[in-house]
Amino acid sequence: MNPLDAYRGKRDFSVTPEPVAEIVDAGANRPLFVVQKHDAQRLHYDFRLEWGGVLWSWAVTKGPSTDPREKRLAVRTEDHPVAYGDFEGTIPEAEYGGGTVMLWDQGHWEPLHDPETGLAEGKLHFRLHGARMDGGWALVRMRGRKGEARENWLLVKEKDDRAGRSADALLNRHRRSVTTGRTMREIAAGTEGPRPPAHGGARPRFRKVQLATLEEAPPEGTGWQHEAKFDGYRMLLAIGKGGVRFHSRNGKDWTDRVAALTGPADALAVDAALIDGEVIAGGGGGDFSALQAALRDGGALTFYAFDCLHLDGEDMTARPLSDRREALERALSGVPPRGAIRLSPVLAGDGADALAAVCAAGGEGLVSKRADAPYRGGRSRAWIKSKCVRRAEFVVAGWSDSDRPGRPFASLLVGSHENGTFVYRGRVGSGFSQDDLEALSAVLASSERKGAPFDGPLPAETRGARWVTPQHVIEVAYAEFTAEGRIRHGVFKGLREDKEAADVSAGREAHQDKGGGDTVGGIAISHPDRVVYPTANVTKGAVARHYDRVAEALLRHAAQRPVSLLRCPGGIGDDCFFQKHAGKGFPAALRTVPIEEKDGGTEDYMYLSGPDSVLAAVQMGTLEFHVWGARRDRLDRPDRMVFDLDPDEGLGFDAVRDAARDLRDHLARIGLPCGAMVTGGKGVHVVVPLKRQATWDTVKGFAKTFAHILAERAPERYTATMSKQKRRGRIFVDWLRNERGATAIAPYALRAREGAPVAVPVTWDELSRLDRANGFTIGDMADRLGRDDPLAEAAERPTAITRAVVDALEDWAKDA
């Protein structure tokens, strides 16, 4: 049966202006979604998703809501042709669906699992990338009454950073067509919508942008305007005769690269303007790696405007910032508050309060500007930037080879220009996605040279390096500069195509005297000589140095996840306690994320964002870090499944070793490769890296089923029940760490046990040679960190709980 037969059968195409039904090639990698406001017998919103060459369709009676508490009825209707996604007009009253149709939203959708399976099972989870609707959404089929032909679903917004708290704010805010700008009345009357304003003035030329000077703290006193620092590409937007142009900070024309912004920019009601701002990914504070992905893949972009250099024939640069801000607000007076062009907010309070607010919200930092100063190209102290996490640009000068298959380099060697010399600044060895590795590999190969480009002697860590012409700039997050002026814990954030290598300087921070005292990784550690592991004679200072050493490796697994801390302020012999919620007066480095609890209330959970957050927790007496199985940007989608093998007291470690290999083999047989970690206690964690597609309920249900099948197949060896009585002589296959809110010890974290043991990822060959799970201690980590991390490597190749995997599990159960 043709899926469009029902659509054809209900329409007379000699009368209705609706498109004729045709199935199109379903090969598009960015399937369309469209929402049409439809005033038929009753007003509703038609929600459509392109798949299989047609538009799956639902009539949402009250329209979509960004409030996750609102579950909107969505009645499944007949499939529509893909061409219907461009239809706006009036259907004759006598025809099926007679009434006015407005194109209310358009974009593309991203299924989070197999769409056809989801449609059949009645659960569709997806992300929308539209002009008005974005973020995570779900369509869930309701149970129908017996004999009922109508197929009722619910359209629900998922809890993420795009969710809102007002039921109909989205509908009330957008009352015009997303394409023509017309109202329902104008569409019904057949009139044209408002045309983009004619820009009658000459388009201003590019001019050198003003730059901020980096300081450790924002300026004090009045007379400063404070704004959040964005993590994106600096741009000048030029508007005038001939349309709009976007220029990078060094004058390159980036209009084609940010084409999605040209329409909204062209709609600004100005004759001519030159507006300074920043392009970011999505609509929050931005993430530089996400921005690069958005530019590459066509994702959503936002331009935050923060200064006006020219408006309607008047050069504004000699005017004070307060006047330029008024001009900017006039130029942007008609833009929607959550549109693609936005006004950068001015933050209330003094600089310290503003920076604290930005950092608490997970932002990058603050830019403070003198309200009475003119706009001057180049760097000056009229603009001061202060960062939550230290970040800087460095020039790539070479790389060290990797011994890992498929990885083109182990780390990048970087430098900066200081007073006419090119100075070595250290290594950057983490933060690279597979796309980053491939792109940088091509860049390095094309610019290789003989000999180091640095001036002066080089440290031993550069031996064997391969060198390149220093012409490419990267952005790096780091903990601090060492006394030698080298970065610690460098994390790659992106290739800066908008910056010139000759302009890159590390500034005075690289030359500051770090001094002595009890400071580790930039964090002051009180009572460093306090013994926290009595039998091993390990002090609080030694714990801090351990976490400073392993921070980069630990954060590969633990960053951006809600974390619970095991705090032992007096040492392991004293009263230790777990803490998962942030307390009053906690250090700003320990960021927080609001999470809804089971009782409906919301609490602030902590998460780790960098080495400073790890060490800030250690300063408070933390010994252990326990993390969620999901990251804060998608708390509803776990990215790993953990089985904790917990042996009965009388069992030796050889039984645990055998059990881990047993799980590995069974998981591999059903299509789920895994890795292993000795916990520093008695057991082993078997970890399956997952694509972020399945819900907690799905992952928990799968893990529970797997554990029970294993116990049924070998009841003399395993139990899937927590009961101590049933565990006698057996290993408890703990699957309970796979539910929302459950935690597991983080790799490279210490354990609050005698001997100062550490949880360490191991290869399967290595596991077979170990005689206990607590064999690695704090003293072993210096040598250990020089090896590859098998769990981190496994996480680069996540799998999914697909229909085929579930079928394989069911087949295995039948064989039991």
For residue 27, the model assigns a pLDDT of 44
Is it the case that residue 262 has pLDDT exceeding 70?
yes
> What mean pLDDT comes out for the span 625-650?
94
Give the dihedral of Cα atoms 350, 354, 355, 357; nearest 10 deg.
Answer: 140
The distance from CA 433 to its chain's CA centroid, rounded to whole angstroms, is 13
Backbone phi, psi, residue 746, to 5°: -80, 140
Say whether both 179 and 74 belong to one domain: yes
Task: Return d(Cα 286, Cα 292) in angstroms, integer.
Answer: 11
Choice among 157, 229, 387, 493 that is catalytic: 229
Say whether both 123 and 74 belong to one domain: yes
For residue 706, the model assigns a pLDDT of 96
Read off the pLDDT of residues 26-53 as tens digits, 9 standing for 90 and up. Answer: 444 578 899 999 999 899 999 999 998 8
Task: Return d(Cα 195, Cα 192) in angstroms, integer.
Answer: 8
Task: Return d(Cα 809, Cα 802) in angstroms, integer.
Answer: 11
For residue 600, the model assigns a pLDDT of 72
For residue 513, the model assigns a pLDDT of 39
> Is residue 757, in this structure, part of any structural domain at all?
yes
Is it the case that residue 114 has pLDDT exceeding 70?
yes
For residue 287, the model assigns a pLDDT of 58
Read off the pLDDT of residues 653-680 as tens digits, 9 standing for 90 and up. Answer: 999 999 999 999 999 999 999 999 999 9
pLDDT band for 635, please (50, 70, 90 cuts): very high
For residue 442, the model assigns a pLDDT of 86
> What mean pLDDT comes out for the span 592-598?
84
Least confident of 232-236, 385-389, 435-439, 750-754: 385-389
For residue 424, the model assigns a pLDDT of 92
Is it the case that residue 324 has pLDDT exceeding 90?
yes
Say whether both 561 and 585 belong to one domain: yes
Is it the case that residue 517 has pLDDT exceeding 60?
no
Long-range contacts of 357-363 (CB under 8 A, 24+ apart): 358/228, 358/229, 358/285, 358/388, 359/388, 359/588, 359/591, 360/588, 360/591, 360/592, 361/285, 362/285, 362/591, 362/593, 362/609, 363/228, 363/229, 363/285, 363/388
> Is residue 663, in this structure, part of any structural domain at all?
yes
For residue 726, the model assigns a pLDDT of 75
For residue 746, the model assigns a pLDDT of 97
% the chain with pLDDT above 70: 92
Say whether both 252 and 363 belong to one domain: yes
Task: Return d(Cα 339, Cα 275) in angstroms, integer.
Answer: 16
> Is residue 402, in this structure, part of any structural domain at all?
yes
Residue 554 backbone zone (phi > 0: left; psi -120 to 50: alpha; other: beta): alpha
pLDDT band for 357, please (50, 70, 90 cuts): confident
> Is residue 196, in this structure, part of any structural domain at all?
no
Is it the case that residue 25 has pLDDT exceeding 60?
no
Q: Which residues pair with 80 in a beta bridge?
A: 55
Is it the case that residue 284 has pLDDT exceeding 60?
no
CATH code, domain with 684: 3.90.920.10
User: To the nearest whole number, what is the mean pLDDT of the chain?
Assistant: 87
CATH code, domain with 276: 3.30.470.30
CATH code, domain with 395: 2.40.50.140
Least confident of 154-168, 612-626, 705-719: 154-168
Say whether both 268 and 351 belong to one domain: yes
Domain boundary among 160, 189, 218: 189
Domain count, the chain: 5
Q: Which residues pair with 490 in a beta bridge?
A: 428
For residue 514, the model assigns a pLDDT of 41
- Which residue segment(s) compose the domain that 563 sits in? 531-628
> Is residue 370, in this structure, part of any structural domain at all?
yes
Say whether both 260 and 334 belong to one domain: yes
Angstrom distances, CA of residue 403 to CA of 166, 408, 410, 489, 781: 53, 9, 8, 20, 20
Say whether both 760 and 798 belong to one domain: yes
Does residue 10 have an active-site annotation? Answer: no
Task: Return d(Cα 269, Cα 266) in angstroms, integer.
Answer: 8
Domain boundary among 387, 403, 428: 387
Read off the pLDDT of residues 412-441 as tens digits, 9 standing for 90 and up. Answer: 999 998 767 788 999 998 888 888 888 898
User: CB neighbours (10 Å) of residue 527?
Assistant: 13
pLDDT band for 607, please (50, 70, 90 cuts): very high
Say whether both 163 and 243 belong to one domain: no
> What mean pLDDT comes out for the span 324-344?
86
Query: Within 51-114, where are the H helices?
Result: none
Say whether both 12 and 129 belong to one domain: yes
State whether residue 260 is helix, strand or coil: helix
pLDDT band for 194, please (50, 70, 90 cuts): low
Task: Return d(Cα 628, Cα 613) in angstroms, integer.
Answer: 17
Least confident of 240-244, 289-293, 556-560: 289-293
Say whether both 605 and 653 belong to one domain: no
Read off the pLDDT of residues 696-732 as tens digits, 9 standing for 90 and up. Answer: 999 999 999 999 999 999 999 999 988 777 778 899 9
Is it the case that residue 301 has pLDDT exceeding 80?
yes
Say whether both 371 and 403 belong to one domain: no
Taking alpha carbons only, the member of 197, 196, 204, 199 closest to residue 271 is: 199
pLDDT band for 196, please (50, 70, 90 cuts): low
Least confident of 123-127, 173-177, 375-379, 689-693: 173-177
Say whether both 166 and 215 belong to one domain: no
pLDDT band for 598, please (50, 70, 90 cuts): confident
Domain boundary among 387, 408, 440: 387
pLDDT band for 197, please (50, 70, 90 cuts): low
